[in-house]
Structure 1
Amino acid sequence: MIDPTALSEKPVLTGERIRLVQLTRRHADAFHATFLDPETRRLTGTHRDWTLPELQEWCAAAAGRPDRLDLVIEDRETGGYLGELALSQIDKDNAHGTFRISLADDATGRGIGPEAIRLLLAYAFDRVGLHRVELEVFPFNPRARRAYEKCGFEVEGRLREALYWDGEWHDVLIMAALSGSGRERA
């Protein structure tokens, strides 16, 4: 069963090298800088140009959203910004939600993504009570797909030509992880 209070709690989730903390206004500058990076925008399919004031407002309001969880990935030792992730679009009747993650450029290739994903999935399944967590990934992002697969996500389908980027159509892969399946993968 879904615990309706679990998304309102805004937990701090601590891993071996990282900590997931509530997104706040103090993260807006780093969040904005990440989304100014053209490669990050391509890998996430982000067309919208967020201004810094818009992101400051979005980040400041994140703690008050009872229907989603927006967390920042911080380095446990330095507190430095490594990226952000979200659990949203919660379907209480069917116990599933949607997940996304974006890493800062200097956080990639170090196993930060899988560590953050595992922490969030554990919370989503064990505390929120979800049965299924879904995400979208582009075929031109094989590194992300491998990270998701390490954390128990499996490809369930393909949305043909659902992303228009740089004058070309790209497919979108739908992946999902189920409660109790594959979270122990290395």
Structure 2
Amino acid sequence: MIASSDTPPDLQSVGFLLRRPREGDADARPRLGRHPDIYRMFGAGRSFPGLFGHGEAAAWVTRIAEHPAAWIIDQDGLVGEVRLDNINRADRRANFAIGIFDPCRLGKGLGTAVIKRVLAYAFDELALHRVSLRVLAFNERAITAYLKSGFSIEGRERESALIDGEWHDDIMMGILAADFDTRRNAPGNE
């Protein structure tokens, strides 16, 4: 991949690396497939295909490579992606998105650690004031990780996602730079 001034840096942390795409990622991504329980949390229905083809993988790698603030989550290999979307420099805000595709990596604190690392980059390096997200109300694992990372629940968008013929709510969450700094500097907070 060719770096430019708009290319975000790799972000190292204890136990994982947030990095730009590299050779071999398009071959590694299909091995993770589309686990039905994980993709349901993204809003996919039961009929969503479980296979992730090489063409899709190549397009996925290209999207991350061309994105101004997206990384592959690498924990002994590719396990997911994380992004700051719709960065608005004037209002100093962005939207957050994360996907961990390997079910063996869930529930072990990886998501929370990745969220905190990207928030540190957003507030310290990009000087953002606010980061927002939306999450399906039934995605309790993600909501817990967001709350642990300092996000606050700001509202509920009722019946905003139609999945398998049923309406589901989205939870709107956000965090301000000052809130993140307060949590980060609190005694006992790693």
TM-score, length-scaled by structure 1: 0.84
Give the match for residue 69 of structure 1: 69
| Structure 2: unaligned runs, 5 residues or longer | none
- CA distance in 1 between counterparts of 2:134 and 2:70 reads 17
The equivalent position to 2:55 in structure 1, one of 53, 56, 61, is: 53
Count of aligned positions: 176
> What amino acid does structure 1 have at the position aligned with 2:138?
F
Question: Where in structure 2 are the equivalents of 1:34-113 lying within 5 Å?
Answer: 34=32, 36-46=34-44, 51-65=53-67, 68-75=68-75, 79-103=76-100, 104-113=102-111
C-alpha contact (below 8 Å) 1:34/1:105 kept by paired residues: no
Question: Where in structure 2 are the equivalents of 1:123-138 lying within 5 Å?
Answer: 123-138=121-136
The equivalent position to 2:137 in structure 1, one of 136, 139, 147, is: 139
Looking at CA atoms only, which structure, 1 or 2, has the larger radius of gyration? Answer: 2
TM-score, length-scaled by structure 2: 0.82
SS in 1 for 2:178: coil
CA positional deviation for 1:70: 1.5
RMSD: 2.3
Q: Percent identity?
A: 34
> What amino acid does structure 2 have at the position aligned with 1:58?
W
Greater length-normalized contact order (CA 8 Å, ≥ 6 residues apart): 1
**CA pair 155-34 structure 1, distance change in 2 beyond 3 A:** farther
Poorly superposed stretches of 4+, deviation over 6 Å:
47-50
| Structure 1: unaligned runs, 5 residues or longer | 1-5
C-alpha contact (below 8 Å) 1:23/1:70 kept by paired residues: no
